[in-house]
Structure 1
Amino acid sequence: MAATEKFIDIDGRPLFYQVTGAGKPVVLLHGFAEDSTIWQHQTGVLQEHYRLIIPDLPGSGRSGSSEDMSMEGLAASVKQILDDEVQAGESFVMIGHSMGGYVTLAFAEKYPEQLAGIGLFHSTAYADSEEKKATRQKGIEFMLQHGAALFIQQTTPNMFSAAFKQEKPEVVGEIIDRYSNFSTESLVQYYRSMMARPDRTNVLEKSTWPVLFIAGEYDTAIPVDHVMQQSYLPSLSYINLLQHSGHMGMLEEQEASNKFLLDFLAGL
């Protein structure tokens, strides 16, 4: 089933998204230094049962940057897409990978009315620790000096488990090649916005909808223990562990990832 490609205009800047499938709407939000194509192995399975809305967040892929690149600003951009694509009163599910999970939580805080559930795929409601902020600041300094392409080349392999990198180095290389055209400005803005984002565990505590957590056993960006610590906060949680994945489970364990997503969505 071929996806329909669409653009909307936000203050003179294009915002790109894809729509495919039929059924209950499901929104998939990509992470840092990615775009909507990161979900390619999920789209073919999910579109058989659901209507997928998959944007390139502002500053990524075919979408221009927005004036507000905060997590809240990115959520507001997604809201404009959904105002066009989802009927008033119709509920939808939003699932975000990594930074996309931060945007999902910002969206859930500001626009909870139509949500039927949210998913945090290698993501967290915690704010950055001081150590994490320091690491991001070093990344910003590196990108400003050497550019986004070299930054992606050096950091992307760390997102995968050691076993996956050894077994499928071509996949890691393809991801590096695919996303090496990111602008330094966009990645720096994302990092600064992630550093500034607040703790949103209160969103989980107040949730009236189920929350999906997918963690990777070898994820060094979002450790399993961080996921487990917050998984008890919602009134209903679905907790799943990818036993062979780092931070890129949608690529590292495609079949298991798809099963977790389908089981969660079917349970709603």
Structure 2
Amino acid sequence: MKTLSLNNKKLVYAVSGSGAPVVLLHGFAEDHEVWENQVATLQNNYTVIVPDLPGSGASDRLDETSMESMADAVKSILENEKIDQAVVIGHSMGGYVALAFGEKYPQFLKGLGLFHSTAFPDTEEKKETRRKGIEFIKKNGAYLFIKQTTPNLFTENYKLKNSDKVVTFIEHLKEFEPESLIAYYYAMIARPDRTLVLKNFSKPVLLIIGKNDVAVPYKDSLALSHLSSTTYVTILEHSAHMGMMEETDKSNEALESYLQEVIK
């Protein structure tokens, strides 16, 4: 793991492999280890960078948490590694950060991917769900929140066959600070519509969509597919919101196929 200082806050990230740089951004209530199966494959051909976003894992929470401030953190990592351009792919909230990065720093983007994520803003219903989540976290803490909500991100079939993996995943996150989760929720509520980022991006965009995803609904994800001039779409038929775990091989194939197209 590498560490740099961002506004006197510790920012931690891992670098594996060699070749063209690929940045994988984890989602809400996750850390860089959610990508371990993808790093194991992609590091054979690429330099894979997986940060703990500010407030997650070993990285300090910033004084002001927003998609834009986390995009600044990603830029700081690239500058620290002396990287001029990278493919940036984000899972869920990490996709929101990737879009903010694309809006602020398009010159740094070689490719852009949304993995179970969206460029649409929250609906009023979604905002209300997040507000209820904030109240639950304030009352019960982060661990109980993660323990209750995380299983909903997997299909019933996956949970049935891999209950040990789900439990291990949850237990790994038990030290999450409630303040970080609350800050993320407020930041997600506040984020704007970023469909223009996809419309204006001149290079191919990657969409990986879970057929059974309830966090980022299938039909909403499909609606993004026509926004870019070129979009690579992979539908994970047997996944909900955690395709990197639920359908690892198909996820890795989608990532590798996309990277081969955008990195030439």
Q: TM-score, normalised by structure 2?
A: 0.98
Separation in 1, partners of 2:11, 2:245:
25
Once structures 1 and 2 are overlaid, which stretch shifts more, 170-179 or 185-194? 170-179
Separation in 2, partners of 1:243, 1:49:
27
Alignment of 1:86 with 2:82, yes or no, is: yes
Alignment of 1:256 with 2:250, yes or no, is: yes
Say whether the 8 Å CA contact 1:116–1:210 is kept in structure 2: no
**Aligned position for 1:162:** 156
Unaligned runs of 5+ in 1: none
Pick from 46, 52, 68: which aligns with 1:56? Answer: 52
**Aligned position for 1:202:** 196
Separation in 2, partners of 1:224, 1:240:
12
Alignment of 1:188 with 2:182, yes or no, is: yes
Query: Match of 2:66, as an amino acid?
Result: S
**Aligned position for 2:92:** 98
For the residue of structure 2 that corresponds to 1:27, the secondary structure is strand
Query: Match of 1:210, as an amino acid?
Result: P
Separation in 2, partners of 1:246, 1:60:
22
Shift of 1:68: 2.1
Say whether the 8 Å CA contact 1:68–1:74 is kept in structure 2: no
Shift of 1:11: 2.0
Alignment of 1:120 with 2:93, yes or no, is: no
Separation in 2, partners of 1:143, 1:224:
27
Alignment of 1:38 with 2:34, yes or no, is: yes
Separation in 2, partners of 1:46, 1:255:
12
Pick from 221, 230, 233: which aligns with 1:236? Answer: 230
**Aligned position for 1:227:** 221
Give the aligned CA root-mean-square deviation in angstroms.
0.7
For the residue of structure 2 that corresponds to 1:113, the secondary structure is helix
For the residue of structure 1 that corresponds to 2:213, the secondary structure is coil
Separation in 2, partners of 1:71, 1:26:
19
Unaligned runs of 5+ in 2: none
Q: TM-score, normalised by structure 1?
A: 0.96
**Aligned position for 2:260:** 266
Q: How many residues align?
A: 262
Separation in 2, partners of 1:86, 1:256:
32
